[in-house]
């Protein structure tokens, strides 16, 4: 049974992350802000209006780098403290206050990019030759030149940055603070409900009556807030559209894909191929779930149930370390040392508490170690989630050691490849070490139900829906709750066909995902998993040489675009072949699940 969550003050300290690695005390944090603001003023005085030649370009960028190296831990500290307890007024106010401070700083520093953009390309190219350290950054300046606005306009836009970010904050406040769930009732007994307990428990509850009742109760509460959430989202969309138009992009898609360094064909291919070619495999998986669980019909509320709930091992945080160490050992001693430090030095926030952000994430502040948020439920699925987040941590742990601040972060298109790679390594390790059909079925169903379902179905269907939303916005339209519900339902019905009943409440799924406030993010999960699936197959077949190449990719950070990084790892994402191979691989795994189920049931009978 799902229990009510404790307050943050009631959880064990060893289950929480240690933010003192960023700042030992509140006084140190406040002093850092004063120091940062002073450095910004001194920098602006020294360089504003004086970035004129290659030498001053390089000197200005050195000072600019120093400022951001100080700013990152401050911003990380405020956002992480806020994310673990949205009900903590002090943490929320601190985060909001720094948002305003960051906007002022951004406005004061906007002259840097404006002055760089106004310089002739030859001056920037000469600066690149004199200092390879800033080559990538200056390449971006040259690439963005056509979309750069007048310096005063850039300064004004930068001053409004916290206002432009407001819809995302409002979305989180609505979701994590205002939205309070009542208990739901099944057969005369009441059960507690929250965002965390639904997504971390009730959604995959084996008891069909409880699972469907929880879904209905959860959806009913979402529905109460649908109009506010839709208005919040529309405000965000209109801001993006206005920015796209003001900067002179042809479409809002071009604006949002620009920083990802991929073109529209790669974006569309990911959505179109998966929507069309993965659907038959996933429908077969849905029918298998229905058969194994003896369901009267397969509904959207049933899609997250485990194939074999009797075989879901429970696991403690401490026990998870051995699984992760064994699975990731192939990555080498330095990588494993990072994993072990993440446990010992409290880089991970495991606690379940009221007001904590849902899902999981990894924050990797430059100059500091990564931080991982997860709500540990004790199921083996958590091990896959943690391996995923440690993939992000391992990526930036390596990139930050090898690259400067502005070279360390790759395109969003590539960002989910290292994380999903670790999930593949975990699955491959578990499969290699057992011949038991039930265990093998459990492992394969875990990778299908979590890794691939999450990244190739949940996030991909978000992307298909999101594309329809942006097409509407691009044509000068707006959205409200009714429109968003219809678009979401249409995407779900198209993918699942007649095999899954898209029951009432499923259309409100758009309300659950913060990714919509992060540009064209959802489709990148399937892009990253396509790359990691192909690389993990190489590692299985070729061993150490493939691992060494992958580690070089991680160390390269953002010095190459996604196609170049993938090519380093032996995958050509400029063609549709890797995606087709990955879809076929998912189909093979689902076929294996059908065969293993038949084998297990024949033994039972």
Dump pLDDT digits (tens) for 373-408. 999 988 888 999 999 999 999 999 999 999 999 999
Distance CA 413, CA 524 (A): 5
What local confidence, expressed as pLDDT, does residue 1 receive? Answer: 43
| Order of strands, sheet of 371-373, starting from the edge strand that comes earlier in the sequence | 348-349, 371-373, 361-363
Distance CA 50, CA 118 (A): 12
Contacts by 309-315, CB closer than 8 A, 24 or more apart: 309/206, 311/438, 311/439, 311/441, 311/442, 312/379, 312/380, 312/381, 312/442, 313/379, 313/380, 314/378, 314/379, 314/380, 315/378, 315/379, 315/380, 315/382, 315/383
- Domain around 98: 8-160
The verdict on residue 238 lying in a domain is: no
Distance CA 277, CA 191 (A): 40
Distance CA 422, CA 417 (A): 9
Angle at 515 between CA 171 and CA 366, to 5 degrees: 105
What local confidence, expressed as pLDDT, does residue 605 receive? Answer: 62
The verdict on residue 12 lying in a domain is: yes
The verdict on residue 264 lying in a domain is: no
CB 393 within 8 A of CB 349: no
- Provide the number of structural domains found in the chain: 1
What local confidence, expressed as pLDDT, does residue 352 receive? Answer: 92
Q: Of 414, 443, 449, 421, nearest to 547 (Cα)?
A: 421
Provide the H-helix boundaries in 352-478: 381-402, 417-432, 437-446, 459-474
CATH code, domain with 24: 1.20.140.70
What local confidence, expressed as pLDDT, does residue 357 receive? Answer: 84
Tell me the pTM.
0.83
The verdict on residue 106 lying in a domain is: yes
Q: Which residues of the chain have pLDDT under 70?
A: 1-3, 605
Residues present in the chain in total: 605
The verdict on residue 102 lying in a domain is: yes
Distance CA 129, CA 125 (A): 6
What local confidence, expressed as pLDDT, does residue 3 receive? Answer: 60
Question: 3-class DSSP state for residue 46?
Answer: helix
What local confidence, expressed as pLDDT, does residue 42 receive? Answer: 97
**Which tens digit of pLDDT belongs to each residue from 519-550?**
998 999 899 899 999 999 999 899 999 999 99
The verdict on residue 456 lying in a domain is: no
Distance CA 454, CA 458 (A): 5
CB 8 within 8 A of CB 85: yes
The verdict on residue 215 lying in a domain is: no
The verdict on residue 115 lying in a domain is: yes
């Amino acid at each position: 049974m799902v229990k009510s969550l404790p307050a943050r003050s009631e959880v064990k300290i060893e289950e929480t992350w240690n933010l003192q690695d960023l700042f030992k005390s509140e006084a140190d944090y406040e002093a850092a802000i004063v120091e940062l603001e002073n450095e910004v003023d001194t920098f602006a005085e020294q360089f504003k209006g004086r970035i004129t030649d290659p030498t001053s370009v390089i000197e200005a960028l050195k000072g600019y780098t120093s400022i951001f190296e100080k700013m990152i831990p401050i911003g990380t500290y405020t956002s992480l403290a806020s994310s673990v307890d949205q009900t903590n007024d002090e943490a929320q106010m601190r985060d909001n206050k720094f948002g305003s401070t960051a906007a002022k700083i951004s406005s004061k520093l906007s002259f840097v990019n404006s002055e760089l953009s106004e310089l002739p390309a030859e001056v920037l190219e000469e600066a690149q030759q004199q200092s390879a350290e800033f080559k990538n950054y200056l390449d971006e300046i040259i690439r963005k030149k056509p979309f750069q606005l007048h310096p005063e306009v850039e300064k004004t836009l930068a001053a409004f940055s916290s206002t432009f970010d407001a819809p995302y904050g409002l979305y989180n406040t609505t979701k994590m603070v205002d939205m309070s769930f009542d208990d739901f009732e099944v057969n005369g007994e009441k059960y507690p409900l929250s965002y965390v307990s639904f997504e971390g428990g009730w959604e995959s509850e084996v008891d069909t009556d409880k699972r469907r009742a929880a879904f209905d109760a959860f959806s009913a509460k979402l529905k109460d807030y649908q109009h506010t959430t839709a208005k919040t989202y529309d405000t965000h969309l209109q801001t993006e559209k206005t920015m796209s138009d003001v900067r002179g992009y042809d479409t809002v898609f071009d604006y949002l894909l620009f920083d990802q360094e991929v073109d529209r064909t790669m974006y569309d291919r990911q959505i179109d191929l998966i929507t069309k070619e993965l659907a038959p495999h996933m429908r077969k998986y849905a029918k298998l779930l229905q058969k194994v669980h003896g369901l009267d019909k397969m509904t959207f509320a049933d899609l997250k149930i485990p194939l074999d709930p009797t075989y879901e091992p429970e696991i403690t945080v401490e026990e998870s370390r051995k699984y992760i160490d064994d699975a990731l050992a192939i990555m080498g001693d330095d990588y494993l040392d990072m994993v072990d430090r993440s446990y010992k030095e409290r880089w991970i926030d495991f606690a379940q508490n009221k007001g904590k952000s849902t899902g999981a994430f990894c924050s990797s502040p430059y100059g500091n170690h990564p931080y991982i948020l997860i709500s540990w439920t004790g199921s083996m699925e958590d091990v896959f989630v943690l391996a995923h987040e440690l993939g992000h941590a391992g990526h930036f742990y390596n990139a930050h050691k090898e690259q400067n601040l502005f070279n360390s972060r790759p395109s969003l298109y590539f960002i989910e490849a290292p994380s999903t790679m670790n999930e593949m390594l975990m699955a491959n390790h578990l499969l290699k070490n057992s011949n038991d059909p039930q265990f093998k079925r459990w492992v394969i169903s875990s990778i299908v139900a979590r890794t691939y379902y999450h990244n190739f179905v949940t996030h991909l269907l978000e992307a298909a829906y999101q594309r329809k939303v942006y097409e509407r916005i691009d044509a000068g339209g707006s959205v409200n709750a009714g429109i968003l519900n219809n678009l979401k339902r249409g995407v779900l019905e198209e993918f699942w066909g007649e095999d899954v009943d898209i029951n009432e409440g499923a259309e409100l799924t758009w309300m659950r995902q913060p990714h919509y406030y992060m540009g064209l993010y959802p489709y990148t999960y399937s892009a990253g998993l396509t790359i990691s699936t192909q690389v993990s197959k190489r590692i299985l077949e070729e061993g150490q040489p493939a691992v060494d190449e992958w580690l070089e990719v991680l160390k390269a950070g953002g010095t190459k675009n996604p196609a170049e990084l993938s090519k380093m790892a032996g995958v050509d994402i400029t063609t549709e072949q890797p995606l087709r191979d990955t879809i076929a691989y998912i189909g093979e795994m689902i076929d294996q699940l059908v065969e293993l189920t038949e084998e297990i049931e024949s033994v039972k009978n």
